[in-house]
Structure 1
Amino acid sequence: MSGAAARERSRTMTDAATGAATTAAIQAASGGAAERPLTFGAVVRQSRARLPLIGAASLLGSLGTLALPLALAAAVDAIAAGGDARIPVAIAAGLVLLGVACDLVESTAATTCTADAAARLRTGMVRRLLGAPHRIGRFDTGDLVARISAGAADAAHAGPSAVGAVAAALPPLGSLVVLIWLDWRLAAAFAVGLTLVALVLRLFAKQTATAALHYQAAQGDMAARLTEALDGARTIAAAGTLGAETRRVLTGLPALAEHGRATWRALAAAGARAAVAGPLATIGVLVVAGFLVAGGRLSTGELLAAAQYAMMGAGLGSLTGIVAAVARSRAAVARIAEVHDLSAMSYGTDALPDGPGSLAFREVTVRAGDRVLLQDITFTVPGGATAAVVGKAGSGKSTLAETAVRLRDPDSGEVALDGSPLPALARSDLRTAVSLATARPALAGATLADAMGPGRPRDEVRAAAEAVGAHDFATRLPAAYDTPLPEVPMSGGEAQRIGLARAWHADRLLVLDDATSSLDLLSADRIEEALAATGRTRLVVTYDAALAARADLVVWLADGRVRATGPHDVLWSNPEYRAVFAR
């Protein structure tokens, strides 16, 4: 079931890519630079619009935190000396209010920044997935959904968490500077404890990053199995294997729980270590401060300030939350980067020259990893002619169909339309000239009209629907073409008609990958007649001997190679050719 489901999802996403524009062109072929790899630093830089505000609020809040002990020290010393403490108390109150205001600004800006970053990451991932449908076979749909949803949400915290980590380190470092100003011996005692806490955090960051990466991977695996189960829910119910399938879907729960516990264990261990290292810093500073007060080199207020600064150093352990956020974000960025590295298909700038729609394959070879899907494919379909592509299952027919409309590029060789190599053509010219309809079209859009002709005028949608026999079906619906797509009841044949209507706009080459297999013979013949009347070139993948007989040319594939080309009645004398149609 898993392999079949994966193949079906690949076909579905490939067909979806033939709709409206889904990805920006990466103009490497025409002189543009390829995009840089996605890294944690790159995600941080993408959030730079709001990071200055977050950083300013954090910095101002940190400065207020550092100034507060000195203001309190001045108030204590003024009271001890019998002086007026109203000014330092007022300053201390103002610093407290400043801290609250900075926290509010930082929180608001960080929330907005994270939401924008998540939207940007999700948009980029979707564009890449739909722009490179043939490159996503190594991912499962459920895993991709997990990366786009939860993964993007975690990765989006990269900017705020990085700024937060820097800002949270400022009070301890600032405390060290102030203690040096008060007395270098206080700073020395403080630095020892600060070093211990920093080592604790470094170990915690390493452990948390590993656990977060494993946790997110386990989430993706479980989502993948769930998606497979949902795709085959009817089969599972009919087979009575609900219990077994439930156990299969949830088989990753123990691993997920273990990775979650690993995160909590790392947090607990860091808290325990910080509980020892932090107080050591405070005790060391207080002991030294006590001797300095006894020697008259430190006032009572300064003793209070030194204690508070020492507590800031001990409070470095509170960075565990920020460190954990950075670790989760780094892990999520690493998983998203695997999708980001899928380069979308680049397009040229050439206009398609006038011509009848002649299609030429010249020594085309297509690979998927180490497997050869097509090898040295060479044939030409004259403009306005119909070519039938036949062969047994696995012979490479669908791969050839995808290559003909440039949903994938050959690893070697060339595909040309009216003499122009497909990669050299501008996107708008190519997508206006060619289109693909499949046996199981992926229908998307808010309404039936959207599914039939995304972004096209209503009169064009209706004309296409009439040509493929879908108009009567549409007008019987409650809101006709404006019926919400989820509310459109449809059989396999009706889905194919909608897919054909969507592909009908191609003005030179229409590729049909078994696209009328669910229609009755009369309907299929009428669509064929309508196509012939348009004068467009047709490349038809089929198992129907009668359709192959009516074609001007037959391309017979076997094991990814062209076994023979020619008229159907000539090839029919070969018993192996006849065996192709024995179903």
Structure 2
Amino acid sequence: MTTVSDAAPDPVAPQGRDPVAPLARALERAALRHGGAHCAALCLVSLAATAAGLLLPAVLGRALDLLLAGEPATRWVGAATALVVLLGVLDACAGVVSGTADGRAAAWLRRRVTGHVLALGPRAGDRFGAGDLAARLVGNAAQAGTSPAAVAALLAALAGPVGGVVALGIIDWRLAVLLLAGAPPLALLLRTLARSTTACVADYQRVQGRMAADLAEAVGGFRTIAAAGIQDRETARILRPLPELSRAGHRMWHVQGRAAAQAVTVAPLLQLGVVALAGFLLTRGEVSVGDLLAASRYAVLATGVGVLVGRLAALARARAAARRLAEVLAEPAPAPGTRGLPSGPGRLELRKVTVRRGGRTVLDGLDLVVPGGTALAVVGRSGTGKSLLARIAGRLTDPDAGEVLLDGVPLGQVRHDDLRRAVAFAFARPALLGTTIEDALSYGAAAPSPARVRSAAREARADSFVERLPHGWATPCADAPRSGGESQRLGLARAFAHGGRLLILDDALSSLDTVTEHHVTEALFAPGTARTRLLIAHRATTAARADTVAWLEEGRVRAVGPHEVLWRDPEYRAVFGEETTRR
């Protein structure tokens, strides 16, 4: 498969000025190469159509000369008819091949960018937001996918004027010279159009992405919006950028309209000049009436700025979209390691770990050790970096400084598959990926056996819920309505089923009822459990069952010790809020 790395950035690109531009160009070239045969076929069909269009005036001119001379012209009239039919066939073929090339290029771009987004992990959502990422992967990828077809169409559109000038030169060299005299203003006009259109399109797509992000946020919080009765206010918030979007769209049309208007002031004068010169040469007997007819048509083709304006605008839209995809690809993904994990108890160690988000240091030089086979609960007020610590501990993201080790091996050096088999996660809002419930619990780098899945479901108290579903374990996930607590139980069952030496629970017990939580924690903290457990805890009851508690405050570990010892500190008790007063 072609990758962006296959296409090296331009060596002449200014270093340090715009790191995204070379990557966007590389992405376009990679998409073009990926299209391969379809792009080549599109170029050939487009050029063939241009060639047929260039032959038609000459054939019509020759037929006219023969008819005026009273000679048979059936063959030339037939050739003109055949060219007209051929143009129709080639135009239809170009539409089919163009659509296929666009679809293949867009599909490749979506796979390429989606793979990178998944490799980035949570960092992608933090950097761009779910709505904006969806807009880039759906709308921008489709627009960028038109780049190969736009390039082919532009080449064919350029071939028309070039061929027209050459044809005029064949009729009489003075006609070509006259036309070339007016070429520099047209070239300058097209260059200005390309630059202005790219800027306008970039603004338009940026506003679209912002609106998509706001919409995704509203969809995620639809229950809160409905409960608060602020649907109209949220609708107004989402649509607030519409005037800015409208202005960007109007600027695009204004730029193209102004270019077309400027072209109208130049192109007709050149066409008129060519026809006048051809008429003068006709009076002197240096060209025929058919040549005059052909010259008038070639003058139109040679000054066909209107077609070029449309092609350049389409290419500018595709390139602006490719740049938005390149912005995602420019985010560095964690590099996969090459080492295997030695056998070990699952000792987890964080050394001087520092993580920054949005210009703020969330974890600041954090040191923490979790002995193998023990359970550590991480507690702290909201915003102290607990969930971020969970991501770092399982290498869902990398720290900005410091390192994380599992059984003495830095996580950045561990092979991806080995790491994912060694570490299992459970989240507060688990996503169930797979066709059926059983597929969702087996989902992972290595699928556990059905017996192991059912055993894990019993540990998580999810088996009774699953067995009540219409088709039990074979129930499609989409047909399994469930509460937040039932979703958490399924997420816990998936984590339990995949085993591994390290289990990380990021607030994965928060939606369980008291009885279910008691049973789950009994299994989680059962004596003799071999795996290491790291829990992000918000309840004192959960922290009390852990072997040790790490108390986070302002991105640092304030204290580490048994829950009953830390509980003597009133500030520690205050971390649990109202629960403190109930104990």
TM-score computed with the length of structure 2 as normaliser = 0.90
Match of residue 555 from structure 1 = 550
In structure 2, the partner of 1:5 is none
Letter in 2 for 1:301: G
The equivalent of 1:519 in structure 2 is 512
2:522 is matched with: 529
Of 437-446 and 381-390, the range deviating more from structure 2: 437-446
Structure 1 position 501 matched with structure 2 position 490: no
Structure 2 unpaired stretches of 5+: 6-19, 579-583
The alpha-carbon distance between structure 1 residues 49 and 460, as it changes in their structure 2 partners (threshold 3 A), is farther
Is contact 1:169–1:316 with CA below 8 Å preserved after alignment?
Answer: no
Quick one: distance in 2 between partners of 1:220 and 1:229?
14
State the distance in 1 between where 2:414 and 2:36 align: 36
Runs of at least 4 residues off by over 6 Å:
none
Residue 474 (structure 2) pairs with residue 482 (structure 1): yes
The 3-state SS of whatever aligns with 1:477 is coil
Q: Which residue of 2 aligns with 1:435?
A: 424
Taking the aligned partners of 1:581 and 1:316, their CA distance within structure 2 comes to 71
Deviation at 1:471, TM superposition (A): 0.8
Query: 1:111 is matched with which residue: 99, 106, 119?
Result: 99
Q: Give 1:401's aligned residue.
A: 390
Contact 1:76 1:301 in 2 (8 A): yes
Cα distance, 1:155 vs structure 2? 0.8
Aligned AA (1:525) = H
CA distance in 1, matches of 2:345, 2:323: 48
Aligned residues of 2:430 and 2:487 also touching (Cα < 8 A): yes
Greater mean alpha carbon deviation, residues 437-446 or residues 333-342: 437-446
Partner residue of 2:361? 372
**Distance (Å, rounded) in 2 between the aligned partners of 1:351 and 1:279:** 72
Q: Distance in 2 between matches of 1:556 and 1:225?
A: 35
CA distance, structure 2, for counterparts of residue 195 and residue 160 of structure 1: 27
Please give the TM-score of this superposition, normalised by the length of structure 1. Answer: 0.90
Deviations 1:418-444 (A, max 9, x none): 111111111111101102112222333
Deviations 1:400-454 (A, max 9, x none): 1111111111222221111111111111111011021122223333332333232
1:573 is the counterpart of 2:568: yes
Matched, 1:52 2:40: yes
Q: 2: CA distance between counterparts of 1:193 and 1:108?
A: 36
Residue 287 of structure 1 deviates from its aligned partner by 0.7
Q: Distance in 1 between matches of 2:201 and 2:253?
A: 11
Q: Aligned partner of 1:149: which letter?
A: V
In structure 1, the gaps of 5 or more residues are: 1-23, 27-34
CA contact (8 A) 2:260 2:305 kept: no
What residue identity is the alignment partner of 1:527?
A: V
RMSD: 2.3
* Cα deviation 1:144-182 (Å, max 9, x = unaligned): 211111111111111110111111110111111121222
More displaced stretch, 191-200 vs 548-557: 191-200
- C-alpha separation in 1, matches of 2:293 and 2:214: 59
Which residue identity does 1:363 align to in structure 2? K
1:474–1:480 CA contact under 8 A, matched in 2: yes
Q: Secondary structure at the match of 1:416?
A: strand
**Equivalent position of 1:363 in the other structure:** 352
> For the residues of structure 2 that align with 1:547 and 1:204, how far apart are their CA atoms?
64
Retained in 2: the 8 A contact 1:386–1:537? yes
Distance 2:29 2:418 in 1: 37
Q: Which moved more, 1:385-394 or 1:544-553?
A: 544-553
Q: Is the 8 A contact 1:373 1:396 kept in 2?
A: yes
Relative CO higher for 1 or 2, CA cutoff 8 Å, sep ≥ 6?
1
Structure 2 Cα separation of the partners of residues 550 and 246 of structure 1: 46
* Corresponding letter in the other structure for 2:458: E
Q: Give the deviation of 1:510 after TM superposition.
A: 0.3
SS at match of 1:50: helix
What secondary structure does 1:113 align onto?
helix
Percent same amino acid at aligned positions?
45
Deviation string 1:244-266 (CA, Å, 9 cap, x unpaired) is 22211111111222222222222
For 2:354 and 2:188, the matched residues in 1 are separated by 55
TM alignment of 1:230-269, pairs within 5 A: 230-269=219-258
Residue 369 of structure 1 and its aligned partner are, at CA, apart by 4.4
Distance in 2 between residues matched to 1:230 and 1:492, nearest whole Å: 17
Tell me whether 1:426 sits opposite 2:412 in the alignment. Answer: no
Question: Are 2:268 and 1:308 equivalent residues in the alignment?
Answer: no
User: In the alignment, is the contact (CA less than 8 A) between 1:197 and 1:317 conserved in 2?
Assistant: no
Verify: 1:70 aligned to 2:70, yes or no.
no
C-alpha distance in structure 1 between counterparts of 2:351 and 2:204, whole Å: 47
C-alpha distance in 1 between matches for 2:196 and 2:381: 52
- 1:465 aligns to what? 457
Report SS of the residue matched to 2:24: coil
Residue pair 1:470, 1:498 contacting (<8 A) in 2 also: yes
Q: Secondary structure at the match of 2:304?
A: helix
SS of the counterpart of 1:37?
Answer: helix
Which residue identity does 1:520 align to in structure 2?
D
Return 265-274 or 415-424, whichever deviates more.
Answer: 265-274
Q: Distance in 2 between matches of 1:312 and 1:184?
A: 17
Q: In the alignment, does 2:82 pair up with 1:94?
A: yes
1:139–1:566 distance in 2 versus 1, CA, 3 Å: same
The CA deviation at 1:385 is 0.9
Equivalent residue letter for 1:536: R
Find the residue that maps to 2:505 and give its secondary structure. Answer: strand
In structure 2, what residue type is equivalent to 1:76?
Answer: L
Matches of 1:546 and 1:269 in 2, distance apart? Answer: 70
SS across alignment from 1:378: strand
How far the C-alpha of 1:306 sits from its partner, in A, is 1.0
| Aligned pair partner of 1:451 in 440, 456, 471 | 440
Q: Is the Cα contact below 8 Å between 1:38 and 1:341 reproduced in 2?
A: no
- Report the residue type matching 1:73 in the other structure: G
Q: Is the 8 A contact 1:69 1:309 kept in 2?
A: yes
Task: Tell me whether 509-518 or 270-279 shows the greater mean CA deviation.
Answer: 270-279
Deviation of the 1:476 alpha carbon: 0.3
Distance 1:77 1:549 in 2: 102
Out of 370-379 and 423-432, give the one that drifted further: 370-379
**Native 8 Å contact 1:179 1:309 kept in 2:** yes
Q: Which residue matches 1:85?
A: 73
Post-superposition offset of 1:193: 4.1
Secondary structure of residue in 1 paired with 2:362: strand
Look up the SS of the partner of 1:38 in the other structure. helix
Contact 2:521 2:542 in 1 (8 A): no
- 3-state DSSP class of the match of 1:384? coil
Give the Cα separation in 2 of the matches to 1:194 and 1:303: 21
1 CA distance for matches of 2:98 and 2:68? 43
For residues 434 and 270 of structure 2, the distance between their equivalents in structure 1, rounded to whole angstroms, comes to 62
Deviates more, 1:315-324 or 1:303-312: 315-324
Counterpart of 1:148 in structure 2 is 137
> Which secondary structure state, in structure 1, belongs to the residue aligned with residue 399 of structure 2?
coil
1:497 is displaced (CA, Å) by: 0.5
Alpha-carbon spacing, 1:210–1:379, altered in 2? closer, same or farther (3 Å): closer
Alpha-carbon distance between aligned partners in 2 of 1:236 and 1:367, rounded to the nearest angstrom: 31
Letter of the 1:493 partner, please give it: G
Instruction: Work out the CA distance in 1 between the residues paired with 2:513 and 2:402.
Output: 38
Letter of the structure 1 residue corresponding to residue 298 of structure 2? Y
Contact 1:281 1:313 in 2 (8 A): no
